[in-house]
A and B are shown apart, each in its own frame.
Chain A
Amino acid sequence: MIIITAAIYVFGGLAALATLLMIFQRDPVKAAMLMLGALLSTAGLYLALSAQLLAVLQIILYAGAIMTLFIVALTATPAAWRDKPARGSFAKVLGLAVAAVILTELLKVSGALKAIIVSPEFTETGTLDLAMALFGRFAFQFELLSLVILAAIVAAVALASKRRPA
């Protein structure tokens, strides 16, 4: 149990560190690699939370497919368009202050959770149970999701095929 708790903190800390370094990284490709680190740490966090299927999906979908899309987008756009000097310090300070307010409020609102003690243990989450939920109880939501993805594909193709002059 201690190992699981330690793993949760370690993977959470690694994900936070990678996200923090991403903010200060100027090279977009290195930032993408740091994002990959954050996503892989999240996969580890899912494993520690006994969500094995989600850990696998996180690696395949986020770290695999979505990261590849980002790298393709970075290589498809000329470097001169991406590597511009950073914003002014006022905008940065304002952004950081807003993020700090969001964090403080979230922590304040969730104060009631302090009373709920959990003991994380490594259990096997039944993929069958998950499939039963997706295709039984949440079948409507799951089917709606296919419409969302279809709309996204149509939108992406329509956007990419339209070439308008400036």
Chain B
Amino acid sequence: MASKGAAPSTYTPTPTKKTRPPIFSDSDVDWLRPDGRGFHQCRPAFFRTGAVNSAAGSAYAEFGNTKVIVSVFGPRESKKAMMYSDVGRLNCNVSYTTFATPVRGQGSDNKEFSSMLHKALEGAIMLETFPKTTVDVFALVLESGGSDLPVVISCASLALADAGIMMYDLVAGVSVSCLGRNLIIDPILEEETFQDGSLIITCMPSRYEVTQLTISGEWSTAKLNEAMELCLDACSKLAKIMRSCLKEAASASQD
């Protein structure tokens, strides 16, 4: 699917001027990333909207081996059992195919992803534009190749835009792993298995607002700031790729 259409573009952040010189320059380090990328280099990002016909909106995203599909249904009437609400509801679900992970069925370990997707998106959606109704966001990870959650979140916000749900801005998600002294952006599955810490940021770049931030592992302040800057820069670039994908789809439908 990635082979046709526009060439995949990357969203590698540009180095900030303030960063201190790295302890090792990239060439001195005795290990390379398994896929040959630099530490601060992202995988090519590929997006396509309209992946599922029956959904109100949908999107497919492919970042290296990570492949996800998200469909959005609604706004439709909330279930009868739900209490009246003058703002809309957002219902998110992230699931893995049984063949998504190296060991079959391992994806069900990530139970918290659904609530994290919800938290990342709810701040961006104008819920008051669809009172008494629910929007369902269903994400399916076809292949888990690392950085699954950020890809799911970015893809979901694209699917919401495709469905015509009013949002303040697109939500882009990027993660950084900390391995020893090095920060590596957009980690793949192997790197995630051995990471000492991880940081996931999802943000609305035009508003420069962080909708969700999750950190695990031990971080010093300097490292944390460096990682956050790196992520925010990558987020804004990723959002540009997402926006161009939407524009492409819109101009294609006009022709």
Partners in one complex: no
